[in-house]
């Protein structure tokens, strides 16, 4: 998409697509504005998460609310994402990463996507929710069925499979939640059971809903981040892998550049909340607008030599890959930590990765996972 973005930034930075009837913005400053100005650009939509019928109550996700409703809900769940919790996460994420790397210990060829980038995020969430390690594999099966229901022959079958998995997962989580209510431990579910705002607490159903929601919000995106990191370190800039391996402390900054250079989420949608004239365009209430994060991150006005992958870039953390403003990704510290720890543990084990002679990767726009295979031969 990057050459298309470049073209649009120079020829039509604010573009109304007459066929789709939707606005598109491509410049850094405009994307930043659309993401953060919720008075003009609303996230509200009435789409109910119909795939959650098992919970018995209709729920909406944080990303489809505006303040003030949004602020309250977010305030409650944010209590599970505090600096204190982050500290306890680090060693636990390392344990999960080592677990998956141990599974492939004997192999000379490994698949960076299927052997690491896919299983890591889902099991990290399981671990942080407080699910015992012995159940990680089952947890991953449920989450695969819920998140990527493409494995069945017909759509109806995949919906059935998804609904079944949701129900099983909800049934599985419920007793865990009840137990943590009476005896809280150090995990997201316990934090959610004691979180209180203006005298309100989350119900069991809301906690299940949020726990499952984390899988949606944080799974494919983090898979994509880790896969993209390998892509950047092996293909965009092949010198990066040996360099980072020698200097593991540079990995977190390298991850920021990966986020900027190859954003896991390429765009976010909003709806124009009132008739307005912004960006030199007449926008009408109700029209949709796409903020192209992937393009903003490559805007030369904001990043010098934006189309280069550069480990030394001073301002790469200004990327918009986690959004901006009130909806800024709640899981950003977790995603960063997870990618950095996963890559560090990986690099400690392998001195060199060799790409097969023939291979192809399909890259999809938007939030869809980077779910192509990415096999490499490894040297220890």
Options 31, 214, 290, 341; binder of ligand HEM; rule CB under 6 A: 214
Q: How far apart are CA 319 and CA 55, in angstroms?
A: 36
Options 51, 63, 138, 276; binder of ligand HEM; rule CB under 6 A: 63
Q: How far apart are CA 2 and CA 307, in angstroms?
A: 9
Between 34 and 244, whose beta carbon lies closer to ligand HEM? 34
Options 6, 44, 60, 74; binder of ligand HEM; rule CB under 6 A: 74
Q: Please give, one letter per residue, the 3-state secondary structure of 167-233.
A: HHHHHHHHHHHHHHHHCCCCCHHHHHHHCEECCEECCHHHHHHHHHHHHHHHCHHHHHHHHHHHHHH
Options 218, 294, 342, 369; binder of ligand HEM; rule CB under 6 A: 218
Q: For the CB of residue 155, give the shortest distance to ligand HEM in the complex, in Å.
A: 26
Q: Residues 127 to 146: which contact ligand HEM by CB under 6 A?
A: none
Between 66 and 204, whose beta carbon lies closer to ligand HEM? 66
Pairing of strands 281-283, 288-292: unpaired
Between 126 and 170, whose beta carbon lies closer to ligand HEM? 126
Please give the full DSSP string across 267-305, using - where no structure is assigned.
EEEEEE-S-EEETTEEE-TT-EEEEEHHHHTT-TTTSTT
118 lines the binding site for ligand HEM (CB under 6 A): no
Give the range of 50-58, 139-147, 148-156, 317-325 binding ligand HEM by CB under 6 A: 317-325
290 lines the binding site for ligand HEM (CB under 6 A): no
Burial of 254 (0-12, 13-18, 19+ CB in 10 A): buried
322 lines the binding site for ligand HEM (CB under 6 A): yes
CA distances to 200, 287, 312, 319 from 294, in Å: 38, 21, 20, 9
Q: Residues 230 to 289: which contact ligand HEM by CB under 6 A?
A: 264-265, 268
Options 145, 177, 335, 371; binder of ligand HEM; rule CB under 6 A: 335
CA distances to 208, 235, 258, 296, 297 from 307, in Å: 42, 14, 12, 11, 9
330 lines the binding site for ligand HEM (CB under 6 A): yes
Q: How far apart are CA 6 and CA 13, in angstroms?
A: 9
Burial of 174 (0-12, 13-18, 19+ CB in 10 A): middle
Burial of 40 (0-12, 13-18, 19+ CB in 10 A): middle
Options 244, 289, 327, 369; binder of ligand HEM; rule CB under 6 A: 327
| Residue span 167-206 as binding mask against ligand HEM, x where in contact by CB under 6 A, dash where not | ----------------------------------------
Q: In the bound complex, which residue of the shown chain has the CB atom lying closest to ligand HEM?
A: 331
Give the range of 19-27, 92-100, 324-332, 369-377 binding ligand HEM by CB under 6 A: 324-332
Q: Name the residues that contact ligand HEM, by CB under 6 A.
A: 35, 43, 62-63, 74, 214, 217-218, 221-222, 225, 264-265, 268, 321-323, 327, 329-331, 334-335
């Amino acid at each position: 998409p990057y050459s298309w973005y470049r073209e649009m930034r120079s020829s039509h930075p604010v573009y109304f697509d007459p066929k789709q009837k939707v606005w598109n913005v491509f410049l850094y400053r405009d994307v930043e504005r659309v993401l953060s100005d919720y008075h003009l650009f609303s996230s509200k939509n009435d789409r109910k998460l119909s795939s959650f019928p098992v919970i018995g109550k209709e729920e909406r996700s944080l990303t489809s609310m505006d303040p003030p409703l949004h602020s309250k809900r977010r305030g409650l769940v944010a209590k599970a994402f505090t600096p204190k919790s982050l500290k306890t996460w680090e060693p636990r994420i390392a344990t999960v990463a080592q677990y998956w790397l141990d599974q492939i210990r004997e192999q000379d060829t490994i698949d960076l996507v299927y052997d690491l980038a896919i299983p890591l995020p889902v099991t990290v969430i399981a671990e942080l929710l407080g699910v015992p390690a012995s159940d990680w594999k089952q947890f991953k099966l449920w989450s695969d069925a819920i998140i990527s229901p493409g494995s069945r022959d017909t759509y109806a079958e995949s919906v059935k499979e998804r609904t079944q998995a949701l129900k099983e997962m909800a049934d599985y989580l419920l007793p865990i939640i009840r137990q943590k209510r009476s005896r809280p431990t150090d995990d997201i579910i316990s934090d959610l059971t004691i979180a209180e705002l203006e005298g309100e607490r989350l119900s069991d159903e809301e906690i299940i809903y949020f726990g499952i929601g984390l899988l949606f919000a944080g799974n494919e995106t983090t898979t994509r981040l880790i896969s993209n990191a390998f892509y950047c370190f092996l293909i965009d800039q092949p010198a990066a892998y040996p360099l980072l391996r020698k200097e593991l402390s540079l990995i977190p900054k390298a991850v920021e550049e990966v986020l900027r250079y190859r954003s896991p989420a390429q765009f976010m949608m909003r709806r124009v909340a009132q008739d307005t004239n912004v960006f030199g365009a007449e926008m009408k209430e109700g029209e949709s607008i796409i903020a192209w994060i992937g393009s903003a991150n490559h805007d030369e006005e904001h990043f010098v030599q934006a189309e280069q992958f550069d480990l030394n870039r001073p301002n790469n953390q200004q990327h918009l890959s986690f959004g901006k403003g009130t909806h800024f990704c709640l899981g950003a510290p977790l995603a960063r930590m997870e990618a950095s720890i996963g890559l560090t543990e990986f690099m400690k084990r392998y001195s060199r990765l060799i790409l097969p002679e023939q291979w192809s990767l399909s890259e999809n726009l938007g939030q869809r996972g980077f779910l192509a295979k990415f096999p490499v031969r490894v040297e220890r």
